[in-house]
Chain A
Amino acid sequence: MDDEETFMAMSDDEEFPVGGSDDEDFGEDNDDVMVDDDDDDGDDEAMFGVEESGAPTLLVDETQCTFITADELIAQQVHLIKEISSVLQLPHGTARVLLEHFGWSKEQLMERYWTEDHDKLFADARCIQPKDMKDQCDEDMCSICGNDNKEELLQIGCGHGFCHECWVAYLEEKILSQGKQSIECPEYNCNILVDESTVTSLLKGPAHAETLARYYERVADAIVDSKKTMRWCPAPDCKFAVIAPHSKCKMVKCKCGFEFCFQCGQENHTPVLCLMLKAWLKKCADDSETSNWLQAHTKPCPKCASVIEKNGGCNHMSCRKCKHEFCWICLGDWEPHGSSWFNCTRFNDSETAVVREKVDASRSLLKRYLFYFDRFKNHQSSRQFEEKLVKAVDWKMKQMQKQGWGWVEVQFLIQAVATLQQARRVLQYTYVFAYYLKKTPQCLIFEENQADLQMQTERLSEYLEQRAAKMDDLHNLKQQVMNLRAYCEHRLQKLVEHVEEGYKVGFWEYDEKIAEEMVGQVDEFNESLEL
């Protein structure tokens, strides 16, 4: 990697302090920078003059989201149900079913409740109007098991009575086996919904605790699913739902620290758009490349077209299937080759040329895919290795604090690791972007940005991994790390801004395979920019 001097020289680069109005001396005099800067990261972001409005949409804005757990969510709903129930003078269960029908929107329910025909409204919501509620079972027998002890029968207002055991078995089947929270009356052709309080009272006691817990999980899922601005954090074991400011929101960061795409639920995949990522992941997962491999490494028998892989040195091939003997080099009959096959005179035969062309094309397609896949994977595994850095840096930070540094003063280390991880992640996905991009002048700029970011990322990585732990001159260490981090972040931002501008202005040209679909996706993205 480049040594320190190169880095200093680079920081004098004109391009470097672009828009850096907040901190003009940066880049002019490296030595002064940050040595006395005790603030947290808020400042270095401002250093590059990222104006609020100019920040790329594809980068996470940590301030925009709020978070909620399932328990809090349900508590909120209970509050809402109580409110509706007292305003509209409806039983609790009815209020709940109505609210759920209107996607938990109080306003919508109120509006429709006062304007629409109640018979239709209640029928659509699959619940019974209070005036029509039956207080007795229609029949004296449970129609599931045939139990005719009328005292034991329970109904939910529609008159279909079932005994307690049958109710419980029915609910267990619906909740545990079918994973449902919206449960209809067991009677065939009765679509009245069983309200939450009935479920809770039927599943009382420790024997049903698990079922009830599962039920409430599903209830919370249903609430989140019904809200376009809410999504569960996909990180394993994370219990938060993220509430975004609008439904078109792109990358968000959960309270647990995990960054993901609010649209597709995959990890933060800046700068590619969901559709591109989807196409890429599908390509990596399925064996669409197998056929390319076959074409690149095998040849069809010229007679019967069986696929043949050469596994020995001899070019005198005989097809195992049709016994045809041919030359691997020119694919012509073996016979005229005689004992001196290397005088292969039939090389320019037109038929052979076609086969060769096909093989070459497949070979280069495969090569291209492998080129990008290799780099994609490489950054992915580097990210995993660099997880270790978090521990190493933590140790170093403790050491520094022992030497009298303040907690705030040592945060730069962990922040540098965070930047490194972010840069790696972005780099990883730039290879997906590059794979689907056609070579245009803008593409060359993108590739340059990518190379720059890659270089800065490797420098930061190398510095943190190799030198940070050993450095005794802590002031120098801090200065170095902060410089490296700042430059890395700057390059990252440049790259993302450029990609985003391309989406906005429309200067990217995509691979034919996804070009058509990309038009819609890019439009959608641009709409979200206006929000």
Chain B
Amino acid sequence: MSSSITPARKRLMKDFKRLQEDPPQGIMGAPVENDIMTWHAVIFGPEGTPFEDGAFKLTLTFTEDYPNKAPVVKFVSRVYHPNVYKDGSICLDILQNKWSPTYNITGILTSIQSLLDEPNPNSPANAEAAQLYRENRREYERKVRDCVEESWSSDEEEEEDEDEDGQDGDDDDDGADGDAPDADKPDAAEQ
């Protein structure tokens, strides 16, 4: 498995160790089995925010250039947020031009967690969410809570999917089904 320990892999193992030893509140993450270059993570919505109780799943895809290059981080769960694209991509400076090799996985995930309640409406990835955030906070929060609820149900659906072993059973869902297969894609591509 770990026949070739490249600097990127070595660093990822260190990150993993640090995350396990000192996990920040509301954050979970681990590499997928047999592939330390792909991680699954869950961020819980911070308390006292519209995202409270939400459990949002993400994938992190690393390259051998890590930590000199940022990983690709995507939400798997649907997240209604001014800085999150429809496909789950996140518009966050530290994942782009502000990336520094001293950042680690804990840093990335905590930054995303705090982004949830502190959106930057000036660089909208979801124009509607950005507009509602500015002009109609109540409606914005309602839509956020929709996706918080979904974050739990889609979890169950995914488990069901796994149980049914790939059968496209559910037909009355709202995009969550589209998300679930997406979650598997990066794994397939990486292996």
Q: Enumerate chain A interface residues (CB-CB to B < 8 A).
A: 143-146, 160, 165-166, 169-170, 172-173, 177, 186-189
Chain A positions within 8 Å of B10 at CB level = 145
Contacts of B103 in A (CB 8 A): 188
B69 near A145 with CB under 8 A, answer no
B137 within 8 Å of A (CB atoms): no
Question: Which of chain B's residues has its CB closest to A188's CB?
Answer: B100
- Identify which of B7, B94, B102 contacts A143 (C-beta below 8 A): B102
Measured between C-beta atoms, what is the minimum distance from A470 to chain B in Å?
66
B69 in complex: contacting residue of A144, A165, A173, A189, CB < 8 Å: A173
Chain A residues, Cβ within 8 Å of B69: 173, 177
Task: Identify which of residues 68-108 in chain B touch chain A, using a CB-to-CB cut-off of 8 Å.
Answer: 68-69, 94, 98, 100-103, 107
A-B residue pair count with CB separations less than 8 angstroms? 37
A144 touching B101 by the CB < 8 A rule?
yes
Q: Which A residues lie within 8 Å of B65 (CB)?
A: 173
A188 near B68 with CB under 8 A, answer no
Does residue B14 face the partner (Cβ distance < 8 Å to A)? Answer: yes
CB <8 Å contact, B14 and A144:
no
**CB closest residue in chain A, given B69:** A173
Bound: A170/B66 CA distance, A: 10
Q: Are A187 and B68 in contact (CB under 8 A)?
A: no
B contact face: mostly helix, strand, loop, or mixed = loop
Residues of B within 8 A of A145 (CB): 7, 10-11, 14, 67
Collect the chain A residues with CB atoms within 8 Å of residue B101's CB.
144, 166, 169-170, 186
Chain A residues with CB below 8 A from B107, complex form:
188
In Å, the complex CA distance between A188 and B101 comes to: 8
Question: Can you pick out 23 interface pairs between chain A and chain B where the beta carbons lie within 8 Å of each other?
Answer: A144-B11, A144-B67, A144-B102, A145-B10, A145-B11, A145-B67, A146-B11, A146-B14, A160-B102, A165-B7, A166-B101, A169-B68, A170-B101, A173-B65, A173-B68, A173-B69, A186-B100, A186-B101, A187-B100, A187-B102, A188-B94, A188-B103, A189-B100
* Contacts A145-B67, A146-B14 supplied; 5 other A-B pairs, CB < 8 Å: A165-B7, A169-B7, A169-B101, A186-B102, A189-B100
CA–CA, A143 and B100, complex, Å: 11
CA distance A146 to B100 in the complex (A): 15
Query: How close is A494's CB to chain B, nearest CB, in angstroms?
Result: 53
A18 CB → nearest B CB, Å: 59
CA distance A415 to B103 in the complex (A): 63
**A177 to B98 CA separation, bound complex (whole angstroms):** 15
Nearest Cβ distance between residue B1 and chain A, in whole angstroms?
A: 21
Using CB atoms, name the residue of chain A closest to B10: A145
Q: What's the Cα separation between A257 and B133 when bound, in Å?
A: 59
> CA of A189 to CA of B68 in the docked complex: distance in angstroms?
15
* CB nearest neighbor in A for B14: A146
In the complex, A165 Cα to B101 Cα: how many Å?
13
Which residues of B approach A to under 8 Å, CB–CB?
Answer: 7, 10-11, 14, 65, 67-69, 94, 98, 100-103, 107
Distance between A169 CB and nearest chain B CB, rounded to angstroms: 5
**Bound Cα distance A160, B102 (Å):** 10
Interfacial chain A residues near B14, Cβ < 8 Å: 145-146
Residues of A within 8 A of B94 (CB): 188
Nearest CB on B from A175, distance (A): 11
Query: Whose C-beta in chain A lies nearest to the C-beta of B17?
Result: A146
Of all chain A residues, which has the CB nearest B107? A188
Chain B hits for A166, CB < 8 A: 101
Q: How far is the CB of B14 from chain A (nearest CB, A)?
A: 5
| Residue of B with least CB distance to A174 | B68
Q: Which residue of A lies closest to B65 (CB)?
A: A173
CA distance A166 to B10 in the complex (A): 13
Q: What is the CA–CA distance of A146 and B69 in the complex, to the nearest angstrom? A: 17
Give the residues in chain B near A146, CB-CB below 8 Å: 11, 14
Whole-angstrom distance between the alpha carbons of A432 and B128 in the complex?
45
Across the interface, B102 reaches (CB within 8 A) one of A165, A172, A177, A188, namely A188
Contacts of B7 in A (CB 8 A): 145, 165, 169
Min CB–CB distance A171 → chain B (angstroms): 10
List residues of chain A with CB within 8 A of the CB of B100: 186-189
Which chain B residue lies CB-closest to A160? B102
Q: Determine the residue in chain B with the shortest Cβ distance to A171.
A: B68
Q: Smallest distance from the beta carbon of B95 to chain A beta carbons, Å? A: 12
Q: In whole Å, how far is B136's beta carbon from the nearest beta carbon of chain A? A: 35
- Residues of chain A within 8 A of B68, CB atoms compared: 169-170, 172-173
Give bound CA distance, A146 to B9, whole Å: 12
**B contact residues around A173 at 8 Å (CB):** 65, 68-69
Within the complex, what minimum Cβ distance (angstroms) separates A138 from chain B? Answer: 12
A24 shortest CB reach to chain B, Å: 68
CA distance A165 to B6 in the complex (A): 13
Write the chain B residue with the least CB distance to A177.
B69
**Minimum CB–CB distance for B162 against chain A, Å:** 36
* Bound-complex Cα distance A173 to B14 (A): 21
Residue of A nearest to B97 (CB): A178
Question: CA–CA, A68 to B53, complex, Å?
Answer: 65
Minimal beta-carbon separation of A86 from chain B (angstroms): 35
User: CA separation between A85 and B65, bound complex, in Å?
Assistant: 37
A187 to B104, CA, bound (A): 12
- Taking the closest CB of chain A, its distance from the CB of B96, in whole angstroms, is 11
Instruction: For the complex, give the distance between the alpha carbons of A166 and B67 in Å.
Output: 9
Q: Which residues of B have CB within 8 Å of A143?
A: 102
The distance from the CB of B63 to the nearest CB of chain A, in whole angstroms, is: 11
Cα distance A143–B94 in the bound complex, in angstroms: 17
Cα distance, A503 to B173, chains bound together (Å): 67
- Interchain nearest-CB distance for B42 vs A (Å): 24
Minimum Cβ distance to chain A for residue B62 (Å) = 14
Best-surrounded residue of A143, A144, A172 (most CB of chain B within 10 A): A144
Q: Which residue of A lies closest to B68 (CB)?
A: A173
* In the complex, residue of chain A having the shortest beta-carbon distance to the beta carbon of B103: A188
9 nearest A-B residue pairs (beta carbon): A188-B100, A173-B68, A143-B102, A144-B101, A146-B14, A186-B101, A188-B102, A187-B102, A169-B68
Write out the residue numbers on chain A whose beta carbons fall within 8 Å of the beta carbon of B67. Answer: 144-145
Nearest CB on B from A376, distance (A): 41
Inter-chain contacts of A169 with B (CB < 8 A): 7, 68, 101
Bound CA–CA A189/B111 (angstroms) = 14
A172 to B68, CA, bound (A): 9
Q: Which residues in B have their C-beta under 8 angstroms from that of A144?
A: 11, 67, 101-102
